[in-house]
Amino acid sequence: MSDLEDYRKELDAIDQELVSLFEKRLAVSKKIGNYKKNQSLPIYDKERERQVLLQNIRQITDKDSEVQVRHFLETVMDLSKEVQKDVRASTVDYDQLFASHPPKNDPKIGYFGETGSFCEEAMLAYFDEAPANPSNYHTFESLFLAIRNKEIDYGVLPIENSSTGAISQVYDLLAKYGFSIVGEQYIKIEQHLIGLEGTNLDEVEEVYSHPQGFQQSTEYFKNHEKWRQIPFHSTSDSAKLVKDSQDVRKSAIASRRAAEIHGLSILADNIQNESENTTRFIILGKDLESNPRCNKVSVVFSLDNEAGTLFKLLRHFAEYHINLIKIESRPVQGEKWEYLLYLDFEGNIAEENVNGALRLLQKNSVYFRLLGCYIAATKNK
């Protein structure tokens, strides 16, 4: 018998012993998973893993094998965490988690801003029929509260802009209130400087706008640094403030429609930085709504603060041939260096590959919520 065959037999015996030991380890991992689930403890314990690695690496007699031993131990611990995640996921009612509701009949609609706002424009573009007596709200949170208190069924508000990015407060409120995105609408945004009829630019001292209006028009204001930029509820509210003030020293950033509604003049048109300035608006509801025509999914989740976790998770979307559209991170309120991740991707929750990816995402997340499954809007509207 050759030396090679002897070595192979020796390895086979060691492998059999390893399999037996690993089965015992997985059995204990299941017990730990049940305990953590019952006590609402996190699966990943960074300090515990560090101690286990140090304790075992100290026992290595052949220091040349330290890298391989470390990798082996990390792999074993990763597999044990997978068992614990399976234990936690086994109690999840996925039918309930992904359950959708029918759309509301004759719904009550609300939107952010004053009459003439871009949100009102998005509302009119989204709904096939102009809603009767829509309500308007002057802060993002007041609109969320209106949905919670059943004053309205759906609310329309902006969530991101092509030139200034995400509207962070809206993302934070989505996490806070747990509502669902039931639709979206893109609107091209043309910002204008407006004021009382007959106002001369030399008379302007103050400009009112939602912060987004200022952010989208920074280049224009480089030539008017003496003007006071005063943040206000919304661009449409700013237009109304200027109208009510009857003060030629006050002006606002708002839409052409807002200027017409309030009888104001356009002092400078198209002051936004980018000609293709576009805002994405979401239609918000209390419950998840979905149908076979829906082709976009939004989720929010958080992960253990462990190297490589996000990569390992997003890798599954490629394996399921799912196109990721956007990922946005927001800090968890009250927690240092903890983040919520908002993910948009193509698909429908009824599709097998999407359902499989969502289950994996839920299983591997510390926190997970399906935000919506809805029809993706075209960006040229």
Q: Which domains are delineated in the chain?
A: 3-91 (1.20.59.10), 96-188+278-374 (3.30.70.260), 192-268 (3.40.190.10)
| Across 19-30, average pLDDT | 86
Residues contacting residue 277 through CB under 8 Å, at least 6 positions apart: 161, 162, 163, 188, 189, 190, 191, 216
Handedness of CA 163, 169, 175, 178 (dihedral sign): negative
| Across 304-323, average pLDDT | 84
Q: What angle do CA 96, 98, 100 make, to 5 degrees?
A: 95
pTM beyond cutoff 0.95:
no
Specify the length of the chain in residues: 381
Per mean pLDDT, which range of 37-51, 84-98, 164-178, 316-330 is the poorest? Answer: 84-98
Confidence of residue 381 (pLDDT cuts 50, 70, 90): very low
CA dist., res. 51 & res. 249, Å (int): 67
Higher-confidence residue of 23 and 295: namely 295
What is the per-residue pLDDT for 98?
Answer: 85
When the pLDDT of each residue in the chain is averaged and rounded to a whole number, the result is 90
What is the per-residue pLDDT for 67?
Answer: 87
Confidence of residue 47 (pLDDT cuts 50, 70, 90): confident
Task: Let me know if 281 is a catalytic residue.
Answer: yes
What is the per-residue pLDDT for 26?
Answer: 84
What is the per-residue pLDDT for 220?
Answer: 97
| Across 199-217, average pLDDT | 96
- The 3-class SS string of the chain reads CCHHHHHHHHHHHHHHHHHHHHHHHHHHHHHHHHHHHHHCCCCCCHHHHHHHHHHHHCCCCCHHHHHHHHHHHHHHHHHHHHHHHHHHHCCCCHHHHCCCCCCCCCCCEEEECCCCCHHHHHHHHHCCCCCCCCEEECCHHHHHHHHHCCCCCEEEEEEEECCCEECHHHHHHHHHHCCEEEEEEEEECCCEEEECCCCCHHHCCEEEECHHHHHCCHHHHCCCCCCEEEECCCHHHHHHHHHHHCCCCEEEEECHHHHHHCCCEEEECCCCCCCCCEEEEEEEECCCCCCCCCCEEEEEEECCCCCCHHHHHHHHHHHCCCCEEEEEEEECCCCCCCEEEEEEEECCCCCHHHHHHHHHHHHCCCEEEEEEEECCCCCCC
Higher-confidence residue of 310 and 320: namely 320
Q: Do the bridges between strand 228-231 and strand 206-209 make them parallel or antiparallel, or are there none, so unpaired?
A: parallel
Per mean pLDDT, which range of 68-82, 242-256, 315-329, 362-376 is the poorest? Answer: 68-82
| Across 244-259, average pLDDT | 96
What is the per-residue pLDDT for 110?
Answer: 97
How many C-beta neighbours within 10 Å does residue 255 have? 24
CA dist., res. 234 & res. 209, Å (int): 6
Which candidate, 196, 197, 159, 151, places its Cα nearest to that of 175? 159
List b or e across 17-29, with b for residues whose CB sees 16 or more CB atoms inside 10 angstroms: eeeeeeeeeeeeb
Task: Let me know if 199 is a catalytic residue.
Answer: no
Per mean pLDDT, which range of 106-120, 282-296, 303-317 is the poorest? Answer: 303-317
What is the per-residue pLDDT for 157?
Answer: 97
Confidence of residue 27 (pLDDT cuts 50, 70, 90): confident
- Catalytic one among 281, 301, 345, 368? 281
| Across 181-196, average pLDDT | 97
- Catalytic one among 232, 279, 301, 368? 279
Which candidate, 193, 184, 247, 194, places its Cα nearest to that of 216? 193
